[in-house]
Amino acid sequence: EGRPAVPQGPAQGPGARGGGPRMRRAAPPPQPKMAALKHRRTALERVEKFISEVYFTDCNLRGRLFGDRCPAASLSCFQTPRRIPYDEAVRQEFTPAKVGDSFGPTWETCWFKVELSIPPTWAGREVHFVWESDGEGMVWRDAQPVQGLTKEGEKTSYILTSSLKETEPHSMTLYVELACNGLFGAGKGSMIAPPDPDRRFTLTKAELVIFNRDVYELLVDLEILLDMAQLLGEENQRSFQALYTANQMVNVCDVSDPSTFPAARDLAAAIFSQRNGESQHTIHAVGHCHIDSAWLWPYEETIRKCARSWVTVVRLMECNPELTFACSQAQQFEWVRSWYPGLYAQIQDFVAKGRFIPVGGTWVEMDGNLPSGESMVRQFLQGQRFFQEQFGQICSEFWLPDTFGYSAQLPQLMRGCGIRRFLTQKLSWNLVNTFPHHTFFWEGIDGSRVLTHFPPGNSYEMHGRVEEMLKTVKNNKDKGRVNHSAFLFGFGDGGGGPTQKMLDRMKRMSDTDGLPRVQISTPDRLFSVLEKESSQLCTWVGELFLELHNGTYTTQAQIKKGNRECERILHDVEVLSALALARSSTFQYPTSELQRLWRLLLLNQFHDVLPGSCIQLVVEDALRYYAEIRGAGARLQEEAVQSLCGDLLQPRVGSTESTLVLNTLPWERTEVISRTGLPGFDGAPDLASPGGLREVCLSPSYWKPRSSNRSRVFFSLYSLLHCQFFLRCCFSVPLCSRESVPEGCYANQFALFDDVPLYWDAWDVMDYHLETRKPVTTLLKPLEISLAGGLRGSASFSLQIGKSSTLTQEIILDATCPYLRFLTQVEWKEAHKFLKVEFPLLVRSTNATYEIQFGHLQRPTHWNTSWDWARFEVWAHKWLDLSEHGFGVALLNDCKYGASAHRNVLSLSLLRAPKSPDATADMGHHQFTYAVMPHRGSFQDAGVIQCAYNLNFPLHPVPASSAQCPEAWSSFSVSSPAVVLETVKQAEDSPGAMVVRLYEAHGSTVVAWLRTSLPVQEATLCDLLERPVAGGCLPLEQRGIRLSFTPFRVLSLLLVLRRDATFSHLDNLEERPELKW
């Protein structure tokens, strides 16, 4: 080495420069080389003060960052409550404005016209337009967005030129679009408090400045050396090397004389270029900007957040050829594509260069727990197809860094969508247990595995600081197994993204002894290295449960209800439309309309919307989207039914009115229905069954109707219910003759809990809420029989809950129905209370079973270990069950997700009342239904899974002309009760083909035959993106199509239909046996 590692210069006391007059440029008198004493603390603090933004800026280096300033030549503005396009904005009348003015209220937009004139004396200098405000700004130049400016995101400069030339324009007009909200909305008093509707946003700077790049570079050098000195610690000699170098740089540097800077920079470069040994950890830094698709701001603002953040990334990419940026959520790309086509074109260029990297493969970063299996598939289907269409590639990693837990079915769904890699970090938020890995294989309930990486720094918004690099290495739980990890840098959540300074920091740390190696990388490069190193990796089996935010399974009940209902609506519309298409060549499958509705539903599954952790404005948007899906869904269903059932629906003169019943589930059903609202019916219940009331059963299969004396059995139970105390819904199981509820306990017991979390109000229900349980016992209206007999019996009562809320319940028991329904209405006016309903059961089991996407899993009912009790509040889909050998009780629901099972008590979480970030959350009227189903045998054999579907997918009675009604007709059936045919839809890429999706629901290995009456010509297995699987062609046999399932396996089939075999009338079918299997 030619130079000493840490050059030691002549000692200078702190007063040397600040003191008396100095003879600049005169040769200093020769001094003896003598090392100075260095006190660690004073040396550290000296460097700190030299770069401080607060202290000594009159004489320190920081004070020299900017040179001359020049105000805007003119500034004018106009304000609007709407978010309008540029073209419309610039046509408005602008009135004079000045720095210091404030604008608002919250959510308004202020457009500024800024005339700038750069002084000619600034030739050769770097000139910035500096804009500082507490709102989020976008600079427009020549009708294009050019720079996002957000003080909170450390972006206040739009660089006009790096070196002003005479030929460059010195005068220009810029527009600044200022959103009257901060990076995190406008919470009143705290970030997650409801937005302050009257906040004002002040413009504090709008000027031209000279930017001293050489000062900036020195500041970055010193900041890193200071961090190394402080963070490597006194036990590490590298700490002292960094400190003494920094000290020497201060000695060398004369802030008023830039000619002294290069020598100081050389000192820094010398230490930064001292390299690591071969064994050092490598950090893969990837630019990132987590943008919540809606959270503390509405969806519409997110569109602008994307543009502000991404245009900034594009600017950075132009000056930093190494910068990469991982960007998730197809929806956000789609927003920018349609609202900012110019910017989008630039992004497309950088995508093609492999630098702007689409990741995740999903439509939005959805909640990882609550969406149905099919919704999860559609997140990927819509996302991956978008990325393929727009960028010619699908994503190879699933990207969900900020979601509140991850379903154990996700690994299989990822694998089915072309993804073998997964990145998140949210489990670092666990309150109780530290997750034991950062890099591991995650194995789902079906055995599918994906390579999973949690960036060990536990964040997706790093700033490229020394501290974060050291934490990444130190924290890594898989030391010795892998030596590479991810580091996502850039402001996030509210947008923002990377900054130049972050990049400049990391450039200096690329390979510096004492710090991990830092390279700007890509997710693909990281995962490729991890795959090579994967032989030593451990495997985590089952769900990635987040031990926090467990209130999000319940908060904003209307959103949860909208989600469940709209999942059902789109399922039904697809089934009916696909069958209509199969049977009529003239039917137009509503491809684009269904895509539009699915995208609305998928958007609402974003990880702060479906969980209910958003502000009121977002809730209103979400509920509007659900209303849109309900309305459009009803129209589409009507069209499909019209086409499917043809003139059966047209009442003919002289024919008696009848009812056609449509069943969109794949098994035969016999249920009591109400024909209220249909012409000619008074609302008395009817029994719908293939042999009774005329029913078009689209998909009958294995599930046998109960024996005919069933209804009598149940009505004797009903009378039992009636003579008990109102809360003691005591019932027994036919042919089993045993009680379900222990002596002295009441089922259907409501309980109210205090619900005051530590901070995250809408998100969290804490362990201690369990200590505040109060049974609800105040009766407003005693139990009274509303329907005494026949096919349906029901009784109702009302309760007072808390101080001012009320609950009315109708308990309904139908002939042939193995479960008791609780139709519930609540007027909810509580604050920080949690309402649950409990079912203490005469069942002993150490595990309860919960439905998840395309399957189920078990969780303990005891609190043995910290991992067990941390799951005091969990999620489930349509049912949960507590069973012992030969007997059990299931709880079904039509729109709830929060649940728990402790010892022998099953609880369903009904309503919460958080006040942040939406002060009105859940206030008002609620209607929901749950049901209790005692059963003999296992829940699988008892049909709990099918009953939960039945509760969620009611039969559709439609008026028909009785003379024309055919016998029951069915399109599909499955030979095994373990297999559920979940989805029937048109294939995305071939309108003449159908996709059907089935899954094994019992957790068993089974062969099932899929039979269909549709004219299927060819059947091929395909993946979840509907790409045919190699060798997946299935023979069409006499018994149907043979399908092999392992536990919880999801299979998708492409069915190509014979077009010449279409027909338009149901009754023709019976006469054309050749069309059947």
Residues forming the active site: 402
Q: Give me the 1014-1033 binding string for Zn ion, x by CB under 5 A, dash otherwise.
A: --------------------
Q: Report the relative pairing of strands 847-852 and 879-884 from DSSP bridges.
A: antiparallel
* Cα 102 from Cα 110, distance rounded (Å): 10
From the list 5-13, 394-402, 431-439, 653-661, the region that binds Zn ion by CB under 5 A is 394-402
Minimum distance from residue 614 beta carbon to Zn ion (Å): 11
Which among 893, 911, 948, 941 is positioned nearest to 828, based on CA atoms?
911
Which among 493, 521, 502, 526 is positioned nearest to 316, based on CA atoms?
502
Which among 838, 949, 815 is positioned nearest to 893, based on CA atoms?
949
Question: The tokens 């071969």 sit on which residue?
Answer: 278
Closest to Zn ion by CB, 427 vs 648, is 427
Closest to Zn ion by CB, 292 vs 468, is 292
Question: The tokens 């222990």 sit on which residue?
Answer: 742
Closest to Zn ion by CB, 195 vs 818, is 195
Minimum distance from residue 488 beta carbon to Zn ion (Å): 13
DSSP 1073: G
**Residue 443 region by backbone torsions, left for phi larger than 0, else alpha for psi between -120 and 50, else beta:** beta
Minimum distance from residue 382 beta carbon to Zn ion (Å): 19
Closest to Zn ion by CB, 104 vs 492, is 492
Contacts of 99 (CB under 8 A, 6+ apart): 71, 75, 203, 204, 205, 206, 207
Contact set for Zn ion, span 178-237 (CB under 5 A): none
Q: Is 873 in the site for Zn ion (CB under 5 A)?
A: no
CB atoms inside a 10 Å sphere around CB 409: 24
Contact set for Zn ion, span 238-257 (CB under 5 A): none
**Residue 377 CA from chain centroid, whole number:** 14
Minimum distance from residue 826 beta carbon to Zn ion (Å): 30
CA angle 57, 62, 67 (to 5 degrees): 95
Which contiguous run of DSSP H or E holds residue 473? helix 466-475
Minimum distance from residue 956 beta carbon to Zn ion (Å): 38
SS3 1023: coil
Across the strands, what pairs with 705?
A: none
Distance between terminal CA atoms of the chain? 84
Question: What is the maximal distance between C-alpha atoms in the chain?
Answer: 122
Closest-by-Cβ residue to Zn ion is: 402
* Cα 88 from Cα 71, distance rounded (Å): 27
Contact set for Zn ion, span 269-328 (CB under 5 A): 292
Asked if residue 477 lies in contact with residue 484, where contact means CB atoms within 8 angstroms, the answer is no
Question: Given candidates 134, 207, 402, 686, which one binds Zn ion under the rule CB under 5 A?
Answer: 402
Minimum distance from residue 143 beta carbon to Zn ion (Å): 32
# binding residues, Zn ion (CB under 5 A): 2
Across the strands, what pairs with 855?
A: 852
* Cα 459 from Cα 546, distance rounded (Å): 15
Minimum distance from residue 23 beta carbon to Zn ion (Å): 59
Which among 640, 639, 637, 651 is positioned nearest to 679, based on CA atoms?
651
Which amino acid is it at 688? A
Closest to Zn ion by CB, 370 vs 503, is 370
Across the strands, what pairs with 287?
A: 325, 489
Minimum distance from residue 629 beta carbon to Zn ion (Å): 24
Asked if residue 778 lies in contact with residue 799, where contact means CB atoms within 8 angstroms, the answer is yes
- Rounded to the nearest 5°, which phi and psi values hold at 1041? -110, 125
* Cα 773 from Cα 1069, distance rounded (Å): 59
Contacts of 792 (CB under 8 A, 6+ apart): 672, 685, 812, 813, 814, 815
Question: The tokens 């197994």 sit on which residue?
Answer: 481
From the list 273-281, 400-408, 419-427, 744-752, the region that binds Zn ion by CB under 5 A is 400-408
From the list 335-343, 398-406, 850-858, 1004-1012, the region that binds Zn ion by CB under 5 A is 398-406
Closest to Zn ion by CB, 295 vs 897, is 295
Minimum distance from residue 401 beta carbon to Zn ion (Å): 8
Contacts of 593 (CB under 8 A, 6+ apart): 632, 636
Minimum distance from residue 292 beta carbon to Zn ion (Å): 4
Closest to Zn ion by CB, 293 vs 794, is 293
Closest to Zn ion by CB, 290 vs 599, is 290
Closest to Zn ion by CB, 261 vs 404, is 404
Burial class (CB in 10 A: 0-12, 13-18, 19+), 724: middle
* Cα 188 from Cα 265, distance rounded (Å): 45
Minimum distance from residue 464 beta carbon to Zn ion (Å): 21
- Rounded to the nearest 5°, which phi and psi values hold at 206? -150, 90
Structure tokens at 832: 């920080």
Structure tokens at 887: 């007997």
Closest to Zn ion by CB, 404 vs 930, is 404
Structure tokens at 672: 């009591």
3-state SS string for 322-375: CCCEEECCHHHHHHHHHHCHHHHHHHHHHHHCCCEEECCCCCCCECCCCCCHHH
Closest to Zn ion by CB, 365 vs 639, is 365
SS3 957: strand
Which amino acid is it at 443? E
Closest to Zn ion by CB, 419 vs 609, is 609
Minimum distance from residue 184 beta carbon to Zn ion (Å): 11
Minimum distance from residue 607 beta carbon to Zn ion (Å): 6
DSSP 258: G
Closest to Zn ion by CB, 292 vs 761, is 292
Residues binding Zn ion (CB under 5 A) = 292, 402
